Chains A and B, each alone.
Chain A
Amino acid sequence: MNAPAYNFAYLDEQTKRMIRRAILKAIAIPGYQVPFASREMPMPYGWGTGGVQVTAAILGPQDVLKVIDQGSDDTTNAISIRKFFAKTAGVATTTATEEATVIQTRHRIPEAALNENQVLVYQVPIPEPLRFLEPRETETRRMHALAEYGLMHVKLYEDIARFGHIATAYAYPVKVNARYVMDPSPTPKFDNPKMDNCPALQLFGAGREKRIYAIPPYTQVVSLDFEDHPFEPYRFNAPCALCAAENSYLDEIVTDDEGGRMFVCSDTDYCEGRQAAGHHGSLSAAPYKEKAQEASNG
């Protein structure tokens, strides 16, 4: 059987040009949703078809690609997209945030600080922050055009009225460059401050909704709030059980049916890096691993 001959990074050159034009426009108007002719990709909608198209359009042969899903490098989604580009573009892949030049992500921003040579590509399911408040697309576009964002505060008002605090924990709306209100994709609001004045270029691709938007490097990104209910990032109040990190975003893992649970870094690369550097949390297996190695050496 002949292996199919893919164009570099799967998409044909004309399609990549089209996507690059949309990306350029998105960078020129920070936070504005640029429509683009999204293609069918060999994966289902909801698996990152938008992010994959953006990555395909910006990838060069020298790039080093990292793909994360909920912070993890080894989930199905992350692995299959990484393999997809290893196969169709032949680019080097990595799990180390520092080594990557292009990082495609779903639902997280890596813990390690990003630099100017990196591009962060988000997979976006619903690009329209006003969607669940105003169902008409014609109306939401007009609201963006006229910067009528009172409605966004209605959502936050509802949160406080119902729960006593702003209970929106992910996809927390932000205002980009003091103009467009933007949905940062379903990242936890813990990650919102990382978007502000970030040295890396941030691109957002929504495949099903056919929208691309962007935050250029060093752009102001402000999370919306009320004067008397300011924005607060949320984090479980515990250290990571594996690497004892106090300042990373944690996943809660239920370990038995008697209320047992552990909190671990959602960013696996960050967590492994810390463990390799000798940080050990309360449930770390590292001492046993070292003992086992000593035993096999001895």
Chain B
Amino acid sequence: MADQDPLDNDEPLLVATSLSKSFGRIAACRHVSFSLYPGEVLAIVGESGSGKSTLLQLLSGQLAASAGHVSYRMRDGVARDLATLGEAERRFLFRTDWGFVHQDPAQGLRMAVSAGANVGERLMAVGWNHYGRIRDTASDWLTRVEIDTARIDDAPRTYSGGMRQRLQIARNLVTEPRLVFMDEPTGGLDVSVQARLLDLLRSLVAELHLAVIIVTHDLAVARLLSHRVMVMKGGRVIETGLTDQVLDDPREPYTQLLVSSILPP
């Protein structure tokens, strides 16, 4: 985007410092630290139970960390600790500056209300009060995620899985967030639909200069979308680096196993 000053990107958007979370005796996340810069896509990979989703919830402020903290640079340029934000501020952040794409679109969408209202909800939540403008913006976004605008008044119940996921993305991006969390966005979709969705995501991320934290167990998704990869195992980050570096030249035995367990095409 034209108004993005490169100097502006020198400071990280989100900084996690020694994040830990334990559920009783189970340590789901141990001492995770990293920085995320504007426009950067970070993939968190690892097998089930490695703490990926817990980490995502910690980062997005949905879970309180047992130790460590997350700071986020607000639109005014001031970095603030998420734990010190009030609930109202956090929820406001969630419907303006952040997006959250769930694996199951039913969790992120209102299945009973029309697609247009689904996309428009965030706009109405930030005070848009003009039906015509809300509808125009919604149909514009449906076009951008390749949904036929003739279906703007249909409920997502009537949509296919791929369309639902694209609608969920449109709903999240309509307020032009700077950071989007994605939890297995391609899970449960068939391969050709996955490919289209990834293609769409990649172009939107580049176009909108989005920072993305994407949790996935699918290394192909990580390779296609992300700039950097963090590999998790047993709640720890065991390896991190540029995507091609980690996936083509894995250092840790576990990462090597993960990479080698992809079926050859």
Contact = CB atoms under 8 A, between A and B. Distances in A.
Given A148-B91, A148-B125, A162-B153, A157 B120 contact: yes
Q: What is the interface of chain B mostly: helix, strand, loop, or mixed? A: helix
Interface string A190-229: 0000000000000000000000000000000000001111
A160 B153 CA distance: 10
Contact of A153 (B114, B124, B132, B135): B124
B116 A146 contact: no
Q: What is the interface of chain A mostly: helix, strand, loop, or mixed? A: helix
Given A146-B88, A146-B91, A153 B129 contact: yes
A148 B7 CA distance: 35
Contacts of B117: 154, 157-158, 161
Contacts of B132: 228
B91 A157 contact: no
B89 to A, nearest CB: 10
Contacts, number: 56
Contact of A161 (B91, B95, B121, B153): B153
B130 A227 contact: yes
Nearest to B86: A146
Interface residues of A, number: 17
B87 A150 contact: no
B121 A229 contact: no
Contacts of A157: 114, 116-117, 120, 124, 131, 134-135
Contacts of B116: 157, 161
B110 interface: yes
Contacts of B121: 150-151, 154
Interface of A: 133, 142, 146, 148, 150-151, 153-154, 157-158, 160-162, 226-229
Interface of B: 87-88, 91, 95, 110, 113-114, 116-117, 120-126, 129-132, 134-135, 152-153
30 contacts: A133-B113, A146-B87, A146-B88, A146-B91, A148-B91, A150-B121, A150-B124, A150-B125, A151-B121, A151-B124, A151-B125, A153-B129, A154-B110, A154-B120, A157-B116, A157-B120, A157-B124, A157-B134, A158-B113, A158-B114, A158-B117, A161-B116, A161-B153, A162-B114, A226-B130, A226-B131, A227-B130, A228-B130, A228-B131, A228-B132
